Amino acid sequence: MWASVGLLPCSILTLLFTSTATLAASFHVEPRSLTTFSDTDIVSLGTTPDPLKHIDPYNPHSHLYRILIPRAPDTENNTFVRNHIVTTLRDLDWHVEEDAFEDNTPYGKKRFTNVIATKDPHAPRRIILSAHFDSKFFPSAPMNQFVGATDSAAPCAMLLDLAEALNPMLDARMHRMDHDQLDDEEQEASETTLQLVFFDGEEAFENWTDTDSVYGARHLAERWSSEFVSPLQARKLRGVATQLDSIEHLVLLDLLGAKQPIIQSYYTSTAWLFDGMVAAEHRLGLLGLFNEQSTTNAEGGEWHTWSSFFKPRTSFEHQSGGIQDDHIPFVKRGVNILHVIANPFPRVWHTINDDATALDLPTMKRWTLIFRIFTAEYLRLRMSDRSSTRLVKDELVSTS
């Protein structure tokens, strides 16, 4: 991602929002009150499976540990990380597509591969949670060892945690759907599935330009804008035609994992989702799930109370500030975006210090809990579906 200097003039922003509205738009979802879980349900989903299990950068069995390596596009390490993401999601019985393509870069033609994981590929609509899994390319040492902990190894690990945490409820809903056991309310809810997208090639190889950046996002947005859905999906979507049209919202995670992030609302069309995420954080905090021991290593640190990650929302947002990221090709095509990015950027941004030491475990844990609650409530999942799930020993909550 890249941030230009200063904010965009109001006239330019107005033109941007007006012009994108005339392009192909995603499926229109009216702002609504999200399902609200009980305190007991929030504690249950916030503690099981263990939210620290896969986000600890020092645990060799965690997702984050496996992702936290140099992984520039078209390298063996990039393939290793991609294979880990693909294997993890296929083992959870998700439909996984590897969207491979080639593009020209300042260093010649490179091969990129997006990972698109969909729980129910037959659902007519989807909410996408996404992050980029590549790390920035640097040609020489020591910067060629850049691992991009916040950018965006940690967000990728959070998405894999989300898939594992919600999978029992998603499976139970699909089982009822297959056996024609859905009531009217769940029938409507089941028409929206969860899709996770891991973009390749977000980072520029040299200087950020329209052609040297967001390679994977540009390719996928263009492809989906001309890829038609099945006739059955089109009927359920009230006549819309392309894959882009079936997206309710795209939530993009970036630059997360460092202490004290500031998260802003950038788009009026998703202000209600921003508010839903704020509400999820507030309820989790009131239940004491954020009062943790702050640490950047495995030996512990000081205890602290919590303050919100989110900046209060104004009546009309003029805060885009020129932040360039994987959402831009989708914004230009009218997709509703919720951009969850630390702004100001972490101090370690694009430095060799964006490694495990830049991450704060309680901060990352809070993010996993927020995304679990927010997404489950958006999808109107049933917490009762978790009660029949047998937990293995290593899924119990960490006491560290």
CA 374 to chain centre: 12
Determine the pLDDT at residue 241: 81
Residue 8 confidence class, pLDDT cut points 50, 70, 90: very low
**Residue 134, C-beta contacts closer than 8 angstroms, at least 6 positions apart:** 71, 72, 73, 78, 199, 200, 201, 202, 203, 216
Q: Which domains does the chain have, with CATH numbers?
A: 39-288+307-399 (3.40.630.10)
Which residues have a Cβ under 8 Å from the Cβ of 264 and sit 6 or more positions away?
310, 311, 313, 317, 319, 343
Mean pLDDT of 23-43: 80
Residue 393 vs residue 330, higher pLDDT: 330
Residue of 284, 349, 356 whose CA lies nearest to 323 = 349
Q: What whole-number distance in Å separates Cα of residue 17 and Cα of residue 13?
A: 6
What is the structure's pLDDT at 26? 61
Concatenating the DSSP letter of every residue in 61-74 gives: TSHHHHH-S---TT
The rounded mean pLDDT for the chain is 88
Place of tokens 């309820």: 283
Mean pLDDT of 325-336: 97
Percent of the chain clearing pLDDT 90 (strictly above)? 76
Cα 86 to Cα 95, 97, 131: the distances in Å are 10, 8, 14
**Identity at 91, one-letter amino acid code:** D
Assess whether pLDDT exceeds 80 at residue 86. yes
Cis peptide leading into residue 142 (ω within 30°): yes
Q: How far apart are the first and last CA of the chain?
A: 34
Q: Is the pLDDT of residue 400 over 80?
A: no
Tens of pLDDT, residue by residue over 167-209, are 999 999 999 999 999 998 889 899 999 999 999 999 999 999 9
SS3 105: strand
DSSP code, position 186: H
- Return the pLDDT at 292: 61
How confident is the model at residue 387, as a pLDDT? 66
- Mind listing the pLDDT tens digit for each residue in 256-299? 999 999 999 999 999 999 999 999 999 999 999 997 654 444 44
State residue 25's pLDDT score. 55
Phi/psi for 130 (5° steps) reads -145, 160
Centre a 10 Å sphere on the Cβ of residue 143 and count the other Cβ atoms it contains.
Answer: 14
Please give the model's pTM, rounded to 2 decimal places. Answer: 0.89
* Reported confidence tier of residue 317, pLDDT bands at 50, 70, 90: low
Q: Tell me, what's the pLDDT at 29?
A: 76
Active site residue 360: no
Given 56, 120, 202, 245, the catalytic residue: 202
Residues 254, 281, 325, 326: which is the catalytic one?
A: 254
Query: What is the average pLDDT across 65-70?
Result: 99
- Cα separation, 203 vs 133, in Å, equals 10
Tens digits of residue pLDDT in 351-388: 999 999 999 999 999 999 999 999 999 999 999 998 65
Quick one: tokens of 397? 């909550």
> What H or E segment, with its residue span, contains residue 331?
helix 328-331
The predicted pLDDT at position 399 comes to: 39
Cβ-contact 249, 258 below 8 angstroms: no
104-133 tens-digit pLDDT: 999 999 999 999 999 999 999 999 999 999
Tokens of 342: 């630390």
| pLDDT of 398 | 45
Please confirm, yes or no, whether 171 is among the known catalytic residues.
Answer: no
